[in-house]
Amino acid sequence: MKAKQAGILAVILGSICCIGPLLLLAIGVGSGAVFIGRYHWFFIIAAMAILTWAWAKYLREKTVCDCEHKPMGGQRSAIVTLLITTALVIGFDGLNISRYVFGGVPPAAQDQLSNGLSRIVISVDGLSCVACEIPVRHALRRIDGVKAIYVSGATKTATVEYEPAKTNPEQLVAAINSTGYRASLPNK
């Protein structure tokens, strides 16, 4: 395998966690995102390992060509491909890792809000990255009466503000469970 192809493979692996759930959601199989989310660290590590190997292969070939005073075929396209794939892999991996480092703080749990809405924090097993949050957010957005949603892979929770007259916590949990993730109501 050449360095360029290895770089492209690294981007594909690095982007599966981010693009995979979106594609599955687009074709109506959002529950498949759970599988990808479960193994997202594997994809990140594999992408970084293959990208490192691609750079080592490129540099090794360049060193041999320099030592033999021969021109390296495709050097310009290889370096451009490796630079672009490196930026993409770091970007996709950064999206996954940033949620753990800069996950943010969800709104405080509070049953009744002053504006007549209720707020609930629902535990969601299986959330692991920013892309995993998208199917959960999408499922909750489709429920009539939901006014605000905060989904966090870092805390593995979904905080929802809703109108109690139009929906209830059980419907919210059912919507999340329909995505393939396992939601549970807080213990009171």
pLDDT, tens digit (0-9, with 9 covering 90-100), for 84-93: 999 988 887 7
Residues 6+ positions from 116 with CB-CB distance below 8 Å: 163
Among 147, 59, 159, residue whose Cα is nearest residue 108: 159
Residue type, 177: N
Domain borders along the chain are 3-101, 118-184
pTM of the model: 0.66
Give pLDDT, residue 166.
93
Q: How far is CA 128 from the centre of its chain?
A: 7
Regions in the chain scoring below 50 on pLDDT:
none
CA 46/CA 129 separation, integer angstroms: 17
Give pLDDT, residue 83.
92
Residue 80: exposure state from Cβ atoms within 10 A (0-12, 13-18, ≥19): exposed
Six-digit token string for 48:
């970084």
Give pLDDT, residue 112.
66
CB 140 within 8 A of CB 146: yes
Give pLDDT, residue 102.
61
Give pLDDT, residue 31.
65
Query: CB atoms < 10 A from the CB of 112, how many?
Result: 10
pLDDT digits (tens, 9 = 90+) for 79-127: 899 999 999 888 877 776 666 666 555 556 556 677 889 999 999 988 7
CATH 3.30.70.100 fits 118-184, yes or no: yes
Tell me whether strands 182-184 and 157-162 are parallel, antiparallel or unpaired.
unpaired
